[in-house]
Structure 1
């Protein structure tokens, strides 16, 4: 192939590549500009009461995010689960809470949400410190995979949406993992808005993580689920649940941690 043709093709590819963000932004703007369906409003009213407590501007922002999220992400039913608008809207509403007031990249690594009717079983394999291989099964309500999938129990997603103040929400938990995984593997250090924020983020979350580990070892009651003591990635997901569902208590008992999450999520849920 002549050099001129190769050069032209390379130039065209570069123009296409550079134009992708522009055309994606235009496409998303067109989707968000469409009226929010009345049937979807009814689903939010019945299934996601959390939304009613939010300021009007955030409710509007959330609805636009829901429209784009549903347009871009595939929902797949597993083990007989039927995917309806009720499933899509209920899950999307909770997932999009984490996008409010932030650059809305819509979980760029995520392609599919797999939905089971209830808890599902995942096989596990690990090797212990002695080099012995073990296999087993975990029963889960949700899981976030780095290769483009989130798996959810519909029953748990419904219960998490219905009870807005218990600090437990499987959709928020798994989509916090998705934010964390934007940097690669989940490690409790998602992408922050400014480089200089990382030092304080690491110091505050590490101190709180170690405090939860200590409390868990002593069998003490804490605001945070003991599962958050297993590793930093789970700690970030667990405290994200509490940030959205029990913000007043978190701000009182863990003010530095609340401040870090409020800065990251660009929200102050205790004011709603």
Structure 2
């Protein structure tokens, strides 16, 4: 008798078809304000993505943090907001999410010119490693989720890096649907990155966080944070960048119901 082998698509459809747990819904209403302002259709799609994400990805508490559903679901929801309306394999290179209670210390290497590198410890809110690991500070996850207008969200930032790394090292150019899109993407994001570098060096204000001037990969992650948290400001001040991100994400945050 032949055994039954479930394909990835079948397994995901089975998981998605299961009722969304009431306690998970309560967690999202309590800790992810954006969730309750999505349309019913978008909320249902997000729920299915969350169910698959929690089932497939390994979560690990670090620094004494005890994991629970509130942590898993809050992180999964924000990560999966980046996947709404898109054909996606749910971060295929991602294996584990390491979660610390608060800001943690990590080793860092910083080139300082002349072939020299400065090494030392630095406090971090999060990291996205190229070998399938995202590291997050739980305190900062909560802070980023609670204020959806400040343009800072560590989960959106680090998972934008994950999208960027799906086709190799993070370089500010994620996988686009059509090859022709890369020409426009490179032109617009390249120009915007150089503009932010100039603004940062001259101390000029920008809706984009100046950390995005670090390199093209950080620019894409910062632009993603801004797109989802300050969409109207970004659309007014950087319309071409806004349109590139809207074409990529297939989701327009300016259309989200107004928050109270």
Once the two structures are superposed, residues 131-155 of structure 1 have per-residue CA deviations (whole angstroms, 9 ceiling, x without a partner) of 3443111111000001010000000
1:86-106 Cα shifts (integer Å, max 9, x gaps): 000000000000111111211
2:101 — aligned with what? 117
2:245 counterpart of 1:261: yes
- Aligned to 1:123, what secondary structure does the other structure show? strand
CA distance in 1, matches of 2:15, 2:115: 53
1:121 aligned counterpart, secondary structure: strand
Residues matched between the structures, number: 252
Aligned to 2:81: 97
- Partner Cα distance (2:88, 2:179) in 1: 19
C-alpha separation in 2, matches of 1:51 and 1:105: 22
- 1:66 counterpart (47, 50, 55): 50
2:133 paired residue among 149, 170, 174: 149
- 28, 31, 38: which one pairs with 2:12? 28
Query: Is 1:44 matched up with 2:28?
Result: yes
Q: What SS does structure 2 have at the residue aligned with 1:82?
A: coil
Query: Matched residues in 1 for 2:180 and 2:115: separation?
Result: 41
Match of residue 187 from structure 1: 171
Name the SS of the counterpart of 1:99 in structure 2.
Answer: coil
CA distance in 1, matches of 2:103, 2:202: 29
User: Alpha-carbon deviation of 1:124?
Assistant: 1.7
Structure index of larger Rg = 1
Distance in 1 between the 2:53 and 2:189 partners? 29
Q: Measured at CA, do residues 35 and 270 of structure 1 come closer, stay the same or move farther in structure 2, by a change above 3 Å?
A: same
Is 1:76 aligned to residue 60 of structure 2? yes
* Larger displacement relative to structure 2 (149-158 or 45-54): 45-54
Q: TM-score, normalised by structure 2?
A: 0.95
- 1:11 match: none
Distance 1:250 1:54 in 2: 20
Q: What's the counterpart of residue 178 of structure 1?
A: 162
Whole-angstrom distance in 2 between the partners of 1:132 and 1:268: 44
Flag the 1:126–1:238 CA change in 2: closer, same or farther, 3 A: closer
- The aligned counterpart of 1:16 is none
Runs of 4+ residues deviating >6 angstroms? none
Partner residue, 1:222 = 206
Q: Counterpart in 2 of 1:137?
A: 121
Task: Give unpaired runs (5+ residues) of structure 1.
Answer: 1-19
Q: Distance in 2 between matches of 1:211 and 1:32?
A: 43
1:169 maps to 153
1:222 & 1:178 partners in 2: Cα distance?
25
